[in-house]
Chain A
Amino acid sequence: MIETDVLVIGGGPAGMNAALASAQSGAHVLLVDKFQHLGGQLVKQTHKFFGWAEKGAGTRGFNLAKRLSEDVMNNDNVQILLGYEVVGAYRDGTYLAASWSDHITIKAKKLIVCTGAAERMILFENNDMPGVMGAGAVQTLMNEYGVLPAERFLIVGSGNVGVILAYQLLQAGATVDAIVDVLPKLGGAYWVHAAKVQRLGVPLLLGRTVLGVYGNSRVESAITAKVDEKMQPIPGTEKRHDVDAVALAVGLMPLTDIFQMMGVKTVYVPELGGFVPWHDECGRTTNKDIFVAGDAGGIEEATTASIGGTIAGLAAANDLGYQDNMQAVKDNLEALSIFRTSSLSKKVLEGIERMRGELNA
């Protein structure tokens, strides 16, 4: 059994920053990640990150992951458990982490959940055929394992995930036939991300959906069609794409199973990606010992996840009496609110407001 002050689940940007903030305050932290390395989604990102220059913007995602994970590994207050997934949670603060061959019991005073998100799926004919994959899966195979899973891709979804994937596929030597989106305009990607793939010759086909994929035991082609204002396919507008993979980048939903296991109140907030644990500005849920940070608390992006992780880590250590972190919490909340003055954060802010209002509903 491992006894710790703070248990952090998930070693992405939110989890690593949460672990660091608690550990630097003097708390003992156990950081658990089901993969064999820290970094979460950051390790798959080849582009330079947006944000404050003085806080690492302009650094490529995999380098941010490397730098942060080194900081975590060099901190004596952080114990890291890789290859373990927290599969059991009991309301007295006991947790069970399991690997493929082993399991460990953990006793923790505070829990910070940074489990991130899962990819959404959409319906179309033969969507279970080999060659249909989530954008994140393609990134994992390509950027972590060095395996290009196909040569010619169709990408569904023009949010940042879709257009970044298109760019990374070109970097890896694959071709991208097109990015399609059912919406009549760009589906949420930063304009500059969308512009840089289009000038490399990737067409963005708007108002178009995928009807199906076809092939002999694996994807050999995909058919898309334009949609009308009711999002229904328009007959006669079908287009055939000769691709051997279709990557789905149609949205993310927070991974919140553990909150339900723990009896924490969850709220359905479409602007945040689905069910999210109710939480205050420090990430504290309806259970005062359980915090959330990053996409698990609402789909946003890596910089806000990092700041949110820091805030939760500071607040947890503060609760345990290690040191007065309230000024540092305030500074980080201020940074977060500056970041969110962008019009790009409008939806998230609306979602947070809706979630907060649901406490007594």
Chain B
Amino acid sequence: MLDVDGVPTLEDIGKNMPRRERLEQGFVAVHECFQDIPCNPCVEACPVGAVSMKTLTSTPVIDFDKCTGCGNCVASCPGLAIFLLSLKANHAQITIPYEMPDVPQKGDKVQGLDRYGQFVCDADVIRVVRLPSLDKSSKTTLITLEIPASELMTVRSFRRR
């Protein structure tokens, strides 16, 4: 619960989700930012103007039809609170910002974890990229996992096996 431990519930997330058809078209950014932190790098990072914010302390609104799934906002978000999601016929893919030293490689098998770090399912690392954050002074590693379609809403982390 957000106001207890800072972790959003599925109900909270549901309010920000794109339609199923958009998820099936390929990667789209979904944020889990629910607090009025004075912060706006995601808006500036977006090359197509898909992220907007009324004021500095508003939470972002993502235009899922404009979003190209490029991941620039994921790499720029100070709260690591934006993910890329995509839904295929029988599996889902999620891109997670990762700042830990033990970076997995493409092809590795990892354990998909939920928002409390609990094991959910096995996952395959299908992409590892390093994108610059907004100011270009540092990069953030983005790890893309392939998971069962049923876990699209639950897996938000992973650990090495």
Contacts and interface: CB of A to CB of B under 8 A. Distances in A.
Interface string A150-191: 000000000000000001001101000000000011100111
A47 B78 contact: yes
Nearest to A48: B78
B135 A343 contact: no
Q: Which of B5, B37, B56 has the most CB of A within 10 A?
A: B5
A262 interface: no
B126 to A, nearest CB: 20
B134 A53 contact: yes
Contacts of A51: 38-39
Interface residues of A, number: 47
A202 interface: yes
Interface stretch (B17-25, B84-92, B112-120, B145-153): B112-120
Interface string B97-135: 001110000000000011111100000000000000111
A185 B3 contact: yes
A56 B32 CA distance: 22
Interface string A185-213: 11001111111101111111010000000
B97 to A, nearest CB: 9
Contacts of B113: 199-201
B83 to A, nearest CB: 11
Contacts of A48: 41, 76-78, 133, 138, 140
B interface bracket (residues with beta carbon within 8 Å of A): 35 or more
A53 B37 contact: no
Given A59-B133, A192-B80, A204-B5, A199 B114 contact: yes
B81 interface: yes
B156 A199 contact: yes
Given A173-B101, A200-B117, A185 B35 contact: no
Nearest to B78: A48
Interface string B51-81: 0000111000000000000000000111111
A199 B134 contact: no
B45 A198 contact: no
B43 A53 contact: yes
Interface stretch (A234-242, A246-254, A334-342): A334-342
Say what secondary structure dominates the interface of chain B.
Answer: loop
Nearest to B98: A200
A3 to B, nearest CB: 37
Given A338-B38, A341-B38, A342-B38, A186 B6 contact: yes
A58 B6 contact: no
A53 B99 contact: no
B134 A195 contact: no
Contact of A339 (B33, B38, B41, B79): B38
Given A53-B43, A171-B100, A201-B159, A190 B37 contact: yes
Contact of B5 (A46, A49, A186, A341): A186
B101 to A, nearest CB: 6
Contact of A50 (B6, B39, B135, B159): B39
A53 B138 contact: no
B28 to A, nearest CB: 20
B21 to A, nearest CB: 28
Contacts of B116: 198-199, 201, 203
Interface string A324-361: 00000000000000111111100000000000000000
Contacts of A60: 133, 137-138
Contacts of A54: 44
B100 A50 contact: no
A49 B137 CA distance: 12
Interface of A: 46-54, 56-60, 63, 67, 167, 170-171, 173, 184-186, 189-196, 198-204, 206, 303, 338-344
